Structure 1
Amino acid sequence: MASLVELVREHTALDERGTGHLQRLLASSMLLADLSFSDVLLLVPVQGKEGPAFMVVGQTRPATSQTLYREDLIGRVFESPERPLLTQAWRSGQIVDGERETETGDRARLQCIPVRWDHGVLGILTRESALAVGRRSGELERTYLDIFEKFARMINDGEFPFATQEATTEESPRVGDGVMVLSADGLVEYVSPNAVSALHRIGIHTNAQGAYLADIGFDDTAVRSAVALAAPVTGEVERGADLCLVTYAIPLLKTAKVDGAVVLVRDISDLRRRDRLLLSKDAAIREVHHRVKNNLQTISSVLRLQGRRLASSEARAALEESVRRIGSIALVHETLSRAPEEKVPFDEIVRPLVRTVEEGLLSPDRPVRFEVDGDAGDLPADVATPLAVVLTELLQNAVDHAFPAERSRAGLAEDEVHVRVQLKNEGDVLTVRVHDDGVGLPAGFTPERSGGLGLTIVRTLVAGELGGRMDMRTDGGTLVELTIPLTQSGRR
């Protein structure tokens, strides 16, 4: 579905500033739809078959009432004979009220409001609702409709939406959360039932109607700022550490002067408690990963001490391999201790792994240059941990087996010895390639028949933990290619 900007750019001659005004109006359309209990459409004039026509570039259904439209109307064009009231409002520049027949044959109320800006009319905002036959409106409905009429006048006068309008967020209050209406003098004229409940939750039980907000103990800083700036202002009213209301104060203008205000209120105490709980859990998770990393490093230190006491070179080598494997796992936990999200940037793990191999495995008579290309992106922790161990084993194998002593006797220069790690994240699949320019695989070699512990660990982790597959072949050296699914369905 095309956006407002795309439709306006393709079908009208409006400039960027005019389009921005329409975007701000569309951003406020939920407020207007809920206050008017109506569907709100935003239309711009286009060339029709028989004179002027109007294209729908914005559509908002009310949360406070039923909608007339089940289908999306974005991009639909109404010719002048279909909606004559649109043409009348466009040509006169005045708000036009009337009725129309719906597709089901029922009658609906239609109000057409010219959207004026910068001494011109950019389009038409309509509100459409089913006729209320034989039903008396309550105080809430009458108040909300009266507020909408004030906004309609502001739209027609070019005073709404505001140029400095704030963007809505997840915490932004809506009409259904609670509404307070203030007079030009700042006295409370109306408080909706939900707003009364919100005030009660922060300990304000005084009847607010006819009083100033400050006199009932309500922090009116945001309201006073909105009136002074003649622009909407968001604020918060807190009671202790657990209770919090977010407010959105909108000044009502009349001939460029503030003539009252509408204050939307929402109790976000539960959201704030949830945020604090998440922060607390994040801190706890970071601490757990930090302690796991420290414990793993302690185990590594103990194994190193034990290795120094052993007389058998094979036993010392086995302990050294265990220390390296533990170190690769510790690197993952160190990364998670800094940012305990569900995913970790694997690039922050793979490069320290390579440095560890360089420092621990290489000897002066066997220099090897490592290269890392590509980026694995952010990986789930349950993928990053076994993958770090697998990569450590593959690098260790490359250094131990790819470059035997016969290589130097073959006349190959030392600076030609390379191990290249390539990473490629394709969204649902991660490809890892470890390619050396060594002697390649022995004739008839298969990973399944290899009795080495390193490759056994690699096969087990790749197939069991990662749900992937491994391919080994000779290609100007040894090439190991891992294909690892990143989706849960692919890893089953």
Structure 2
Amino acid sequence: MGCSHYLQGEFLLIEGVFLATLTDLLRHHTDLNDPARQHLRRLVAIWGPLSDLSFGDLLLFTSAKDKRVLTVGQVRPTTNQTLYRTDLVGLFSQDRPFIRDVLDGAGRTVVSVSRAGISEPVRMEVVPVRHNGTVVAALASEAVRSPSRSTGELERAYLGVVDQLFAMVANGSFPYAFDDPTAEGSPRVGDGVIVLKSDGVVGYTSPNAVSALHRVGFHVNAVGRNITEIGLPRDVLRTAFGLGAPLTHELERGESVAIQLRLLPLMDDGRAAGALVLMRDVSDIRRQERLLVSMDATIREIHHRVKNNLQTVSSLLRMQGRRVDEPAAKAALDEASRRIRSIALVHEVLSREGGDDVQLNDVLRPVVQMVQGALVDPERPVTITVEGTGPIVTATTASSLAVVLSELIQNAVEHGFVGTPSDADRSVVVRLDRRGPKLEVRVEDNGVGLPEGFNIDTDPGLGLTIVRTLTTADLGGTFEVVPNPDGPGTAAIVRVDL
């Protein structure tokens, strides 16, 4: 296989980087405007079926700024052997005056060319690519067509369709104006082909299309029948023909079989002259999607049940606390109940959102509401606010942070304002600050500040011990308590890696 008609080794470089993408080549080495470049990107995004239907390699050429012919696109067929083992994108073509002629407006051209290593002549058809009436590129299809071999029904049908598509490329109606070229898993020719006439009657079905129809329960010969008898809704056919735009529909047989139909109208002078229907068996894909939906629902249900169980344990602790007369024991049970509710809040969010990750703010808001409702005395109000947006974290990280923040907010409310006047302005601010790969959480109050001689490492309080343990052991972070740098009060600072 050769590429003797190309300048070998003359690759396009920008700042030492080889330009192999269509976008870079068009932007840096052509004078095409944005709409024209977008037209070519859309063509390349959906030109796989054209290569398959023509049984040939497709090459896309355009005029460079210096008027040389530049190769900007290449695709190989899945229905035939390729003529090129090498990548030609980014090379300048030479000794091909007919490419230049088409770029200059010569119209569709068919020539016979030779290729190194191929004994038979190669048929090359060059099609002008028009956008808004202007030729912006040339599309070449190259394939070996032996004159001594008779063509079969499949080959005749494919070549007839691609001739219509090439005519649409030449008049600017392909690629379609209304289409999503990034549609996931679009069918290709090898998956199955149905050719429709202008009235929606089936003119041809490929062997793979026949097999696909059998899987959805259609066992009679489809040729000569209207596509609506196969299962394509009439309004889908009318809409595709009326808009001149592709549409997708799926034929299903229970939950075990799903066949995707991609209908491409073949336009002639603004009217639908027929359609190409590409088929694809998506049964396994739909089965996997249903499985994922089922798994997601199961995960949500598990989080919901865990939340309910934790709330039950929390309620039992509160009930036990109401029956205890010893103040210290009562306080310990209440604090244990609150800590369990903090973890339950994470599972409540996950039961609504699904998945294993959660937005930290979605957990922090109910934690603040819980602490504010349980600990703040209406006679001595404390304003608790949250500033900043936290990251999305795993459920495990969220659970640990929920307990940590609950403890720090509670500590600020209970100990930060001891001895302050009843009419004092009391506030606790939770600040979330993501700094690169680290998250810094600050819980600041404007209260009385740290007691004299305070040492976090020797403080006997259970709350700060829990915070220190969770931060360092579970989250792999650091924890410190310092005077509030922005005024009176205290700042508790937690830093963790994300």
Q: Per the alignment, do residues 322 and 136 of structure 1 end up closer, same or farther by CA in structure 2, a change over 3 Å counting?
A: farther
**Quick one: distance in 1 between partners of 2:116 and 2:385?**
67
Aligned to 1:42: 60
Which range moved further: 305-314 or 262-271?
A: 262-271
**Quick one: distance in 2 between partners of 1:130 and 1:453?**
82
CA shift at 1:385, angstroms?
1.3
Q: Per the alignment, do residues 64 and 480 of structure 1 end up closer, same or farther by CA in structure 2, a change over 3 Å counting?
A: farther
**Quick one: distance in 1 between partners of 2:284 and 2:414?**
58
Aligned to 1:396: 410
Q: Per the alignment, do residues 207 and 332 of structure 1 end up closer, same or farther by CA in structure 2, a change over 3 Å counting?
A: same
Q: Give the TM-score normalised by the residue count of structure 2.
A: 0.82
- 1:55-107 CA distances to partner (integer Å, 9 max, x unpaired)? 4454445454565365472xx3626x454332021124322334667799999
- 1:101-136 CA distances to partner (integer Å, 9 max, x unpaired)? 779999966432111233321222233467889998
Q: Per the alignment, do residues 2 and 483 of structure 1 end up closer, same or farther by CA in structure 2, a change over 3 Å counting?
A: farther
Q: Per the alignment, do residues 248 and 423 of structure 1 end up closer, same or farther by CA in structure 2, a change over 3 Å counting?
A: same
Is the 2:128–2:137 Cα contact (8 Å) retained in structure 1?
yes
Is the 2:71–2:88 Cα contact (8 Å) retained in structure 1?
no
Aligned to 1:478: 490
Q: Per the alignment, do residues 201 and 105 of structure 1 end up closer, same or farther by CA in structure 2, a change over 3 Å counting?
A: closer
Matched, 1:414 2:424: yes
Q: How does 1:217-232 map to 2 (within 5 A)?
A: 217-219=230-232, 221=234, 222-232=236-246
Aligned to 1:262: 276
- 1:252-280 CA distances to partner (integer Å, 9 max, x unpaired)? 23444433321111222333333333333
Candidates 408, 414, 431, aligned match of 2:440: 431
Aligned to 2:97: 84
Is the 1:171–1:246 Cα contact (8 Å) retained in structure 2?
no
Is the 1:171–1:268 Cα contact (8 Å) retained in structure 2?
no
Aligned to 2:49: 31
Aligned to 1:414, the other structure's residue is in SS state: coil
Is the 1:238–1:244 Cα contact (8 Å) retained in structure 2?
yes
Matched, 1:321 2:338: no
Which range moved further: 457-466 or 13-22?
A: 13-22
CA shift at 1:418, angstroms?
3.1
Is the 1:180–1:191 Cα contact (8 Å) retained in structure 2?
yes
**Quick one: distance in 2 between partners of 1:393 and 1:157?**
70
Q: Give the AA of the match of 1:434.
A: V
Q: Give the AA of the match of 2:42.
A: R
Aligned to 2:5: none
Q: Per the alignment, do residues 14 and 429 of structure 1 end up closer, same or farther by CA in structure 2, a change over 3 Å counting?
A: same
Aligned to 1:252: 266
Matched, 1:455 2:464: yes
Aligned to 1:373: 387
CA shift at 1:38, angstroms?
4.0
Q: Give the AA of the match of 1:88.
A: D
Aligned to 1:282: 296
**Quick one: distance in 1 between partners of 2:362 and 2:114?**
64
Q: Per the alignment, do residues 467 and 141 of structure 1 end up closer, same or farther by CA in structure 2, a change over 3 Å counting?
A: farther
Is the 1:53–1:77 Cα contact (8 Å) retained in structure 2?
no
Candidates 161, 168, 183, aligned match of 1:169: 183
Q: Give the AA of the match of 1:481.
A: I
Aligned to 2:65, the other structure's residue is in SS state: strand
Aligned to 1:490: none
**Quick one: distance in 2 between partners of 1:17 and 1:452?**
67
CA shift at 1:2, angstroms?
8.6
CA shift at 1:397, angstroms?
1.9
Is the 2:103–2:136 Cα contact (8 Å) retained in structure 1?
no
Aligned to 1:312: 326
Is the 1:88–1:96 Cα contact (8 Å) retained in structure 2?
no
Which range moved further: 393-402 or 57-66?
A: 57-66
**Quick one: distance in 2 between partners of 1:258 and 1:359?**
67
Candidates 29, 40, 47, aligned match of 1:22: 40
Is the 2:246–2:263 Cα contact (8 Å) retained in structure 1?
yes
Q: Give the AA of the match of 1:301.
A: S
Aligned to 2:106: 93
CA shift at 1:361, angstroms?
1.8
What is the aligned-residue RMSD (CA, Å)? 3.4
Aligned to 2:343, the other structure's residue is in SS state: helix
Is the 1:166–1:233 Cα contact (8 Å) retained in structure 2?
no
Matched, 1:298 2:312: yes
**Paired residues, number:** 474
Matched, 1:180 2:198: no
Percentage of pairs with the same residue: 44
Unaligned runs of 5+ in 2: 1-18
Q: Per the alignment, do residues 54 and 472 of structure 1 end up closer, same or farther by CA in structure 2, a change over 3 Å counting?
A: farther
Q: Per the alignment, do residues 144 and 464 of structure 1 end up closer, same or farther by CA in structure 2, a change over 3 Å counting?
A: farther
Q: Give the AA of the match of 2:428.
A: V
- 1:16-73 CA distances to partner (integer Å, 9 max, x unpaired)? 544443343233222223333444343332321xxx2234454445454565365472
Unaligned runs of 5+ in 1: 487-492
Q: Give the AA of the match of 2:68.
A: A
